[in-house]
Structure 1
Amino acid sequence: MTLASYQMNKRYFTFFCLVFFCGQSFSQSGFRLIQRERTKVKFQFIDNLIIIPVEINDGTFSFILDSGVSKPIMFNIIGPSDSLKFKNIESIYLRGLGDGESTEALKSRNNKFKIGDAVNFNQDVFIISDQSINFTPRLGIPVHGIIGYDIFRDFIVEINYGSKYIRLNNPETFKYKTCKKCETLNLTLYNNKPFIDAIVEVNGGSVPVKLLMDSGGSDALWLFEDNSLGLIPEIDNYFMDFLGKGLSGSVHGKRSKLKRFSIKSFHIDNLNVAYPDSAAVSFARKYKERSGSMAGELLKRFNIIMDYKNTKVTFKKNQHFNDPFEYNKSGMVLEQVGVRIVKERNQGSQYINNQSNEENSRLSVIEAFKFTLKPAFRIVEMRSESPSERAGLKLGDIILSINNKEVHSLKLQEVNSFFRAPEGKNIKLKIERDGVIMNFQFKLESLW
């Protein structure tokens, strides 16, 4: 059955999520390894997110590996897809992070999913047709969905952030190696999502917290404001900002600095922390013991072994452990939206003899150009009173060049890296607004 021929049978489910989304769980046969004890899958690491290839009904797609999601969710699918051949489709509604409403989706059963040499022939998947729910523009590469619990449930999963691969191991045959430089913590599973205990130092005191391990989040640490625990930012040490995008819309909140974060003997000082708006994460706070989330900017500093079967997780420092914590100091967020026509010079030049008389002949150089379609980068979020806003930039402006470098030759993450430079860095932008080319300039500002 294709998407165009499903039977309408509406049901309602609630999905709790962080920067992307999470959900309820349903039983099924699960993933199995094909004649192997383990399989290794290389991943792309974009904006602190793990992107893995997933084969679905013999088509190949890119998925975010999100430890905070219970069932695979697909989006960024243009129109009905006969090639996917989704089966047993019904309509449901999903609810996730953000300030919007529930989203209609299609639930399909009995699909074939393949990741490396791991296969599930009976996989449920939720398909969102709303084109506004699409994380490809924020990441700058095609992303078609997210997957999490189904993988972590069936394997002991090694996440090597240092070498950018995951390894899925058979829980029955996996053997731990002695590791004196590792720390192993108990893992609490609630609604099929993994939680660990940690310590944060905030407002002069040490506070125990229970955090979702959220590989589907880009930030370092999210904390839910709680006066009783002292989990509130100092009044003179935070600013309001855009934090991320969830299934139900944008998430805003406070950004601040934390003196120290600790898991057993591992300590990380002076790290970034965000306090999301309580309304946007109201569903995520249904688990009363939860204090927040440990996400990609923190997780990437370790190589991790996730062991759901034995409810434990092992951390080992990697080469990123002492990386500085950076953030966008421009105050604006870009998306890759559609394409624009770019005039480019062809390599090499054409030489033409203008005279038939050999004694007076001249060679003229004619430069050849071509017109190509290149990604367009648009401003979609703007922090109030930020350097970019004060300079006169507006939502909807298309970035053409940054510091005299044409952005069509850059990836979105390369463009964003300019805004994470040290305080005082001068930023020159050429933009297009309603067909008019304009120039702007500002300096990056640190708010801490």
Structure 2
Amino acid sequence: MKRSVCAINLIWLKTLLLFLVIAMTIKTGYAQNFEFPNNRKKDAINFILMKNLVIIPVFINEKGPFNFILDTGVGPMIISDPRISDSLKIKDLRTIKISGLGKGNEIEAFVSSSVNARIGKATLSHIPTAILKEDLFRLSSYLGIPIHGLLGYHFFKSFIVELKYSTKRIVFYLPSYGRKIKGERIPLELINDKPYAKIEVESPELGALTLKMLIDNGASHAVSLEILNKKPFPLPPISILANLGIGLGGPISGNIGRLPVVKIGTFQLNNVLTAYPKYEEVAAKVLLNDRNGNLGADILSRFDITFDYADNSMYLRKNGNFKRPFQHDMAGMEVYSEDTQLKRYFIGRIEPDSPAEQAGLLAEDEILYLNFIPSTSYTLTEVNKLFRDGDHKTVIVTVLRKGEIRIRIIKLKQRI
């Protein structure tokens, strides 16, 4: 049976309606902040950075650690891997039905307010939680390591959080700790437990625009633009058709182009890759009238960021990745891991008229060798990097298809 990988690029779109439903469904009388024991005021943990996403260890009901994506774009905690649910012995489960984005029917999830979470030394009892009945996101396949869920708002609102992409470390502390915050202050507006900021973009077609954007470090893309003046955001003159991810209800399609200029405060980034999802599959379904799109981790990871939700602000400092070029996949195909331990890699969806399609590769081909080196010698991050770096370079791909070994040559091309 054909399996498609769930792209992270528009992860917030896959979960937005879910969180809105839960916000209306879960009502508790418990404290909603993480707290330190005794008189502790500060803690720090290391994180894993994969595809610009921050992965942290989280203990749930004193079991774990489990790998969670720390995501400013989510409200309640999400357990996306249902296999861990039984061992957690979660009580007071209720079932809700969710209408998803993309092309598909509604799905079901459990909700509970009887879950305890711990990050470092900080704990929160009775954190509002959704438990998916099936692993719709397939985050483990996309990232190549086990991923069990997502967590965001309740952690960020409890502390001042320093997200140091440059050292892969998070420092979090109470406001009373008295630490001076460094960087340029960017005002935030919190709506439905999510942070929004104003950014400026410039293009020859539209001129200069000020846009209201969701600050979403749980989306691996740079920028996604969905709506302008209650209509689909205009496409740039040059763009390509692309698979932009999987919604709760199915595939999300659209285009990828480039914005000549994106400004956040006094910081300017040039030639920025930008996604334009189809309006009828996204904005029209969730009525995105309060924003134009979202700003993702391919931009945010170029800074060390301090979030101060209590002061409605974030502070930005450029890091060593600031001048990194914005690169799109030059092969035009998704690669996912069916078995993260054995490092078995498969081809997901292939974009029309892409180098991968022209080379004769097909969805569900299993990758055995890359340039005659066993695929097991690569991490999934290294596999994806191979297909993103090097315009006009060739990659020799050996695949297994229906029991037969085939060799194909991909000539990488910067298509946008």
TM-score, normalisation: structure 2: 0.90
**Residue 91 (structure 1) shift:** 1.0
Quote the Cα distance in structure 1 between the aligned partners of 2:259 and 2:312.
Answer: 28
Quote the Cα distance in structure 1 between the aligned partners of 2:134 and 2:256.
Answer: 30
1:34 corresponds in structure 2 to 37
58, 63, 70: which one aligns with 1:65: 70
Q: Which letter does structure 2 place at the counterpart of 1:335?
A: Y
> Structure 1 residues 284 and 191, CA, compared in 2 at 3 Å: closer, same or farther?
farther
1:391 corresponds in structure 2 to 359
Aligned pairs for 1:41-440 (under 5 A) are 41-60=45-64, 61-78=66-83, 81=86, 83-177=87-181, 179=182, 182-204=183-205, 205-226=207-228, 231-235=233-237, 237-282=238-283, 286-338=287-339, 374-440=342-408
Quote the Cα distance in structure 2 between the aligned partners of 1:401 and 1:250.
Answer: 29
Quote the Cα distance in structure 1 between the aligned partners of 2:231 and 2:251.
Answer: 27
Residues 356-408 of structure 1, C-alpha deviations (whole Å, 9 max, x = no match): xxxxxxxxxxxxxxxxx823211111000111111111111111011111101
Q: Which letter does structure 1 place at the counterpart of 2:235?
A: P
> Structure 1 residues 430 and 245, CA, compared in 2 at 3 Å: closer, same or farther?
same
> Structure 1 residues 321 and 19, CA, compared in 2 at 3 Å: closer, same or farther?
farther
**Residue 153 (structure 1) shift:** 1.6
* Equivalent position SS for 2:337: strand
Residues 324-374 of structure 1, C-alpha deviations (whole Å, 9 max, x = no match): 1111110110111138xxxxxxxxxxxxxxxxxxxxxxxxxxxxxxxxx82
Quote the Cα distance in structure 1 between the aligned partners of 2:392 and 2:306.
Answer: 40
Quote the Cα distance in structure 2 between the aligned partners of 1:62 and 1:88.
Answer: 24
- Radius of gyration: which is bigger? 1
RMSD of aligned residue pairs (Cα, Å): 2.1
**Residue 172 (structure 1) shift:** 3.5
Q: Which letter does structure 2 place at the counterpart of 1:312?
A: S
**Residue 107 (structure 1) shift:** 1.2
Quote the Cα distance in structure 2 between the aligned partners of 1:102 and 1:165.
Answer: 38
Contact map agreement 1:99 1:279 (CA 8 A) in 2: no
Count of residue correspondences? 395
**Residue 311 (structure 1) shift:** 0.9
**Residue 171 (structure 1) shift:** 2.7
Quote the Cα distance in structure 2 between the aligned partners of 1:266 and 1:92.
Answer: 43
Q: Give ranges in structure 1 of 5+ residues lacking alignment.
A: 1-15, 340-372
Quote the Cα distance in structure 2 between the aligned partners of 1:291 and 1:254.
Answer: 16
**Residue 313 (structure 1) shift:** 1.3
Quote the Cα distance in structure 2 between the aligned partners of 1:229 and 1:86.
Answer: 43
* Equivalent position SS for 2:310: coil
**Residue 414 (structure 1) shift:** 0.8
Quote the Cα distance in structure 2 between the aligned partners of 1:18 and 1:75.
Answer: 14
Quote the Cα distance in structure 2 between the aligned partners of 1:120 and 1:79.
Answer: 19
Quote the Cα distance in structure 2 between the aligned partners of 1:139 and 1:443.
Answer: 24
**Residue 224 (structure 1) shift:** 1.5
TM-score, normalisation: structure 1: 0.83
Residues 152-174 of structure 1, C-alpha deviations (whole Å, 9 max, x = no match): 12111111111111122113334
Contact map agreement 1:201 1:258 (CA 8 A) in 2: yes
Q: Which letter does structure 2 place at the counterpart of 1:53?
A: P
1:368 corresponds in structure 2 to none
Quote the Cα distance in structure 2 between the aligned partners of 1:401 and 1:66.
Answer: 34
Q: RCO higher in 1 or 2 (8 Å CA, sep ≥ 6)?
A: 2
* Equivalent position SS for 1:290: coil
> Structure 1 residues 227 and 157, CA, compared in 2 at 3 Å: closer, same or farther?
same
Contact map agreement 1:18 1:284 (CA 8 A) in 2: no
**Residue 230 (structure 1) shift:** 9.7
* Equivalent position SS for 1:418: helix
Contact map agreement 1:76 1:136 (CA 8 A) in 2: no
* Equivalent position SS for 2:388: coil
**Residue 44 (structure 1) shift:** 0.4
> Structure 1 residues 172 and 135, CA, compared in 2 at 3 Å: closer, same or farther?
same
Q: Which is helix-richer, 1 or 2?
A: 2
2:4 corresponds in structure 1 to none
* Equivalent position SS for 2:142: helix
Residues 174-200 of structure 1, C-alpha deviations (whole Å, 9 max, x = no match): 4334x4xx3212111111110000100
Q: Which is strand-richer, 1 or 2?
A: 1
Contact map agreement 2:227 2:283 (CA 8 A) in 1: no
**Residue 19 (structure 1) shift:** 5.2
